[in-house]
Amino acid sequence: MSEQDEVTQRRRAEIIAAALKVFAEKGYHHSGIADIARELGLGHGTFYRYFANKRDILTHVIAHTKQRLAEVVAGERPTAADSIEEYRDQFERLGHGMFDLLIDDPQMVRLLFVESFAADPELTASTLAFFELTGKTVARYLENGVSKGFLRADLDTEATGRCITGVIFAGALSLLSSPDPKQTRDRTVAAMSALMFEGVAPR
């Protein structure tokens, strides 16, 4: 990679980080190129060398957010667990990893779960597709358990994957109003794990 390409990549990354902050704090519709440029101390002309407009930068910001979440999941293999105990450990590692990422960068929560639905129908559809893909990824972990016999043979892995994804994302949203995000992380992951592996009926 040439020095100029490295400079371009670095500048684009800086703009994405600044836009993430501005969109999360002010909201997409109440933010402008001027706000992002001001955050970086850049002129408008510099911004337009890297992105076509505000909508273009939002697309890249949300893609960046999705990529970071995907990297957490990439650290685990759906077929790695060979027992219910290993699967529970794997689930809790993934839960903590995802929540840790969102706690470290809480603006990601607002961007992905609020602003991406407020921009326009196209972006809403894209985010819904991401949620659906996440559910299918969860289903692959469940399919592993079914095939190896440590989860129920009659488990509807596709529907259950969507349900688990919904619980995870609802937990992520709770970080927006939590006075103690780390406590919320621990309680939420523990509750999700208990719900999945123990249920709510008395033993």
Whether 99 and 188 have beta carbons less than 8 Å apart is answered as: yes
Cβ neighbour number for residue 7 with a 10 Å cutoff: 10
pLDDT tens digits in sequence order for the chain, 203 residues long:
677 778 788 888 899 989 988 998 898 899 999 999 898 888 878 888 889 998 998 898 888 888 888 888 888 999 999 999 999 999 999 999 999 999 998 888 888 888 888 888 998 999 999 999 999 999 999 999 999 999 999 999 999 999 999 999 899 999 989 999 999 999 999 999 999 999 988 87
Q: What is the pLDDT of residue 191?
A: 94
Q: What is the pLDDT of residue 132?
A: 94
Domains within the chain, CATH numbers bracketed = 54-197 (1.10.357.10)
CA 99, CA 35: separation in Å to the nearest integer? 29
**177 token code pair:** 């109003």
HSE value, Cβ hemisphere, 13 Å, CA-based, for 137: 18
Whether 163 and 157 have beta carbons less than 8 Å apart is answered as: no
- The residue among 140, 183, 189, 182 whose CA lies nearest residue 160 is 140
Instruction: State which amino acid sits at residue 119.
Output: A
Total residues belonging to the chain:
203
Please state the pTM of the whole predicted model. Answer: 0.86
Instruction: State which amino acid sits at residue 152.
Output: R
